[in-house]
Amino acid sequence: MEENQIIREATFNPKVKTYIFIVVLFYMIMTVFGIVLLPLWVLGFGQWLSNKFFNTLKCQLSHKHLKFSKGLILHIEKTIPLENIQDLSFIGGPILRSFGLTMIKVETAGGGGAHQSNMMSMIGINDAEEFKNMILAQREIVIREKNQNNNSSVSSSSNSSDKILLDIKNELSQIKELLKSKS
């Protein structure tokens, strides 16, 4: 089984475009610089840019990884090994819910830091609950396989350790016999 083989590619709700348009519009209204650009945003540039951003959204679940990418100016692409996923949670504030959207937040082991490199958010995935369950199920499979491989390598290393100990015992017996014969 190829580890990069895609199990499922997420699709995104087109309402994400409207959500992005309105959120940016809100921030434009709140800033002086934004008010200057507001006519451009409302007269078409906002819809065009929201659509372009929507087209950059990609999320793929493979046998061993979750890969997500988004962004126009600042393109973000993350590939997370499934065994590193610590938590998957849903975020759905009043604005997201009014659009019928949810955000899946993925937290991973380690990473920390000021830029929260151990988190990833995916907005507007269709059938988000089903996609989340698929990620968790595949994660369990990967962890189970990893544990089975570790157990088999421990038993094989245990067998080689037993052989080495037996060889040492035989050598010591031979040395003991030589010492007895010399005395």
| Predicted local distance difference test score (pLDDT) of residue 149 | 77
| Predicted local distance difference test score (pLDDT) of residue 147 | 85
| Predicted local distance difference test score (pLDDT) of residue 176 | 85
CATH of domain 6-147: 2.30.29
DSSP run (H or E) holding 32:
helix 32-40
| Predicted local distance difference test score (pLDDT) of residue 134 | 93
In degrees and rounded to multiples of 5, residue 82 shows phi and psi of: -60, -35
Per residue of the chain (183 residues), give pLDDT as tens. Answer: 566 789 999 999 999 999 999 999 999 999 988 888 899 999 999 999 999 999 999 999 999 999 999 998 899 999 999 999 988 998 888 889 899 999 999 998 765 555 556 788 899 999 999 999 999 999 999 989 888 877 665 555 667 777 888 888 888 888 888 888 887
Residues 6+ apart with CB under 8 A from 90: 102, 103, 104, 105, 128, 129, 132
Listing DSSP states for 75-115 in one string gives -EEEEEEGGGEEEEEEE--HHHHHTT--EEEEEESS--TTT
Residue ranges covered by each domain of the chain: 6-147
| Predicted local distance difference test score (pLDDT) of residue 33 | 85
